Amino acid sequence: MIIQSQRVWIQQHFIAAQIHIENHRIIKLSKYNEYPVDVDYGHHRLLPGFIDQHIHGAYGFDTNDANEEGLKTIMKGLVSEGVTSFCPTTVTQHPIVLSNALKNVAHVASQSIKGAQIVGIHLEGPFINVTYKGAQPQEHIIKANVDLFQSLYHDSNQLIKLITMATELDQDYRLLQWCVDHGVTVSIGHSASTYDETVMACANGASCITHAFNGMSGIHHRNYNLAGATHRLQEVYAEIIGDGNHVVWPAIHSLMMAKGPYHSILISDALSVKGSPQGEYTLGGQKIEVRADGSAYIQGTNTLSGSTLKMNEGLRNLIEYAQVPINYSINAATLNPANNLKLTNKGRIAYGCDADLVILDDTYSVIATYVLGQIVYTKGS
């Protein structure tokens, strides 16, 4: 198969080009109109598929539900917003609940489903700091425990690729270092870590910060804390919820400019209420309200519990509202999460890479999505 566009995202800029696809991979790139094509996308933007490394659920289903059909529904739905790879993300809960959820993800991931690929699991909690728990249930928060994590890692069929934890509560960095030794990316989040503690955790292997500014000790000019370290440590990745509710546009701009083009990661942090109208819902036994702007709060409070963001809209928000350079923004949805998760064949349009592609019009609407070279979504069909 050969597809082409006058705006293909290659080597950090748009260029007119053809993409040759065979056996799920990109086997060649050539000049626009050089060969007869199967599909010509004209002036639409052709990008690497989006990678959402932090998404709890959507369309009425949640990772913690351990619902096989629910997870398949999420996989099939995410391609409509250009997501080709994602990490189902857990919420702090009793170990038995987490175990069941992880086994379910591993089971579904082993199947051939026409939709976004599961490329790993993001374990958010339970090893977090109560002080910055946010919407995480306090009764199930525990200190870092290598034995418990090893058990959960086994239940996931070694599919846990990312863990959010409060590294300041990990004695002698035992869990942090075990994760690093076994290829699990450690992200600091829901944490009261000071600036110095953050630097030490990163020196011991932590390489990412979970949903920057949210669930963490904040910036003060005499006490820089975790949020300040997120700005200062350029080689550490930072997740950003790009909905304008969790972080205001100027703060997103400031952080992404500080991180440079290769260390910001756009996430949805979406809940099961993604795709649902404004109203009241129950999530994990907790009352949630979705407001008119799409934000989700614990009912009766001003505590954000997650988002309903679509990734294509998040990319639009970074470029159009936060006014972040286009290469920073596109990388945040593609290349950077791929590198953070050590997905060497994803996140870029280049020879040998997986043919995971999304085509956007100028309003950021998804025209088509390809996963491993197969078209899995076409607008209007």
> Distance between CA 375 and CA 372 in Å, rounded?
8
Residue 356: active-site member: no
CA 28 to mean position of chain CA atoms:
28
Structure tokens at 33: 């109109």
| Residues 74-130 pLDDT 10s | 999 999 999 999 999 999 999 999 999 999 999 999 999 999 999 999 999 999 999
Query: For the stretch 39-71, what's the b/e string if a residue is b when 16 or more beta carbons lie within 10 angstroms of its beta carbon?
Result: eebeebbbbbbbbbbbbbbbbbbbbbbbbeebb
Q: Are 92 and 124 in contact, with CB atoms under 8 Å apart?
A: yes
> Distance between CA 331 and CA 266 in Å, rounded?
9
Please check the confidence at residue 302 and state whether its pLDDT lies above 90: no
**CATH 3.20.20.140 boundaries in the chain:** 50-346
Residue that has been written with the tokens 């923004």 in this structure: 329
| Residues 120-174 pLDDT 10s | 999 999 999 999 998 899 999 999 999 999 999 999 999 999 999 999 999 999 9
Is 220 exposed, middle or buried (CB count within 10 Å of its CB: 0-12, 13-18, 19+)? exposed
CATH architecture of the region 50-346? Alpha-Beta Barrel (3.20)
What is the pTM for the complete model shown? 0.97
The DSSP symbol for 270 reads B
Mapped onto helix, strand or coil, the DSSP state of residue 266 is: strand
From residue 87, give the alpha-carbon distance in Å to each of 51, 154, 163, 169, 219. Answer: 8, 17, 11, 25, 29
Catalytic choice (52, 62, 269, 354): 269
